[in-house]
C-alpha cells in the first residue's frame, strides 16, 4: 500500500484549542505530514507564540468555541477570505475534579459548554461548507472516559461519553455528503490538563500498574491516529472512536 495515502499536502486543518498540549502536538504532526495549519484559541498572545513556535505555513483563527455565533462568523469569514477548511480537529476541552455530590452546578455547565457544545458549534459551522464541497474530515477528541469512569470526574465522563455519541451522529447524518467523522480517545497523557495527576506520585504509580503499557502517554503518540483519520487511508472509516491508550480500555 502506498504511503501517499497518508499524505496531507495541500490540506488545510483547523485545530481548536491548539496553543498548547495535545492540540499543539497535533498541529506539529499534521504539519509534518504536509498539512497547512490553522491554530485556534481565545488567547491571542498564546496563539501568536504557538504560531511562532510552529513555524512554516500557519494561520491563526481566534474565537471562543463555546460561542455559537462567534464560531460561525469566524469560520464563514475564513472560508470566504482564505479558502476551504478541509479537516477539523475538535480538540478544545477542560477538566474539573470534585466529588459528585458536591460538584458545583456552574462547573458542570462549563464542562458541558467547553467539551460538548463546542464540538457541535464548530462541527456544524465547518461541516456546512464541507457538505457543499462533498468532502471533509472531522475528528473529535474524546477520552478513555468515553468508555470508562473514575472517581471524582463524573461530569467530565458524561461530556466525553457525549462526544463519542455525537461523533456517531455526525457520521450518520453527514457520511452521505462525503464527510468522514471520527474520534480519537486518548488515554492518560502528560499534558497541562493532567498536570495535577502527573505531579502525584501515587496516581502515576497506580496508572503504571493499571495500563498494560505501564506509563503515561506522550502527546506525539497521538499524531499517527490523527494523520490516519485525516487522510485518504481512512476513506471508509466513519463514526469510529479510536482509543490511543496503552491498552487501558482493553484490560481489567
**How many residues in total does the chain contain?**
252
Phi, psi at 211, each rounded to 5°: -95, 125
Cell (9 digits) for 38:
490553522
DSSP 77-114: HHHHHT----EEEE---------GGG--HHHHHHHIII
243 catalytic per annotation: no
- Say how far apart CA 29 and CA 36 lie, in whole Å: 11
Query: Which one of the listed residues 24, 120, 156, 243 is annotated catalytic?
Result: 156
Burial class (CB in 10 A: 0-12, 13-18, 19+), 250: exposed
For residue 201, give every residue at least 6 positions away whose Cβ sits within 8 Å of its Cβ, in sequence order, or none: none
Residues that are catalytic: 156
Amino acid at each position: 500500500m502506498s504511503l501517499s495515502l497518508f499524505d496531507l499536502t495541500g490540506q488545510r486543518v483547523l485545530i481548536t484549542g491548539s496553543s498548547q498540549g495535545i492540540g499543539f502536538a497535533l498541529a506539529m504532526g499534521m504539519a509534518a505530514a504536509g498539512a497547512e495549519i490553522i491554530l485556534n484559541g481565545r488567547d491571542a498572545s498564546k496563539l501568536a507564540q504557538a504560531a511562532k513556535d510552529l513555524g512554516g505555513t500557519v494561520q491563526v483563527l481566534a474565537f471562543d468555541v463555546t460561542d455559537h455565533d462567534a464560531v460561525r462568523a469566524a469560520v464563514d469569514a475564513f472560508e470566504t477570505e482564505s479558502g476551504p477548511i478541509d479537516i477539523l480537529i475538535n480538540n478544545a476541552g477542560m477538566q474539573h475534579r470534585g466529588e459528585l455530590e458536591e460538584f458545583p452546578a456552574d462547573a458542570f455547565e462549563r464542562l458541558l459548554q467547553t467539551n460538548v457544545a463546542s464540538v457541535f458549534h464548530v462541527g456544524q459551522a465547518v461541516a456546512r461548507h464541507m457538505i457543499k464541497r462533498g468532502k471533509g474530515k472531522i475528528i473529535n477528541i474524546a477520552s478513555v472516559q468515553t468508555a470508562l469512569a473514575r472517581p471524582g470526574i463524573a461530569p467530565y465522563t458524561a461530556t466525553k461519553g457525549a462526544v463519542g455519541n455525537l461523533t456517531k451522529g455526525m457520521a450518520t447524518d453527514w457520511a452521505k455528503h462525503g464527510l468522514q467523522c471520527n474520534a480519537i480517545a486518548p488515554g492518560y497523557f502528560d499534558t497541562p490538563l493532567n498536570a495535577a495527576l502527573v505531579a502525584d506520585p501515587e496516581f502515576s504509580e497506580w496508572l503504571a500498574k493499571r495500563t498494560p503499557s505501564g506509563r503515561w502517554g506522550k502527546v506525539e503518540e497521538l499524531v499517527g491516529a490523527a494523520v490516519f483519520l485525516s487522510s485518504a487511508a481512512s476513506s471508509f472509516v466513519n463514526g469510529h472512536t479510536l482509543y490511543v491508550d496503552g491498552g487501558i480500555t482493553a484490560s481489567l
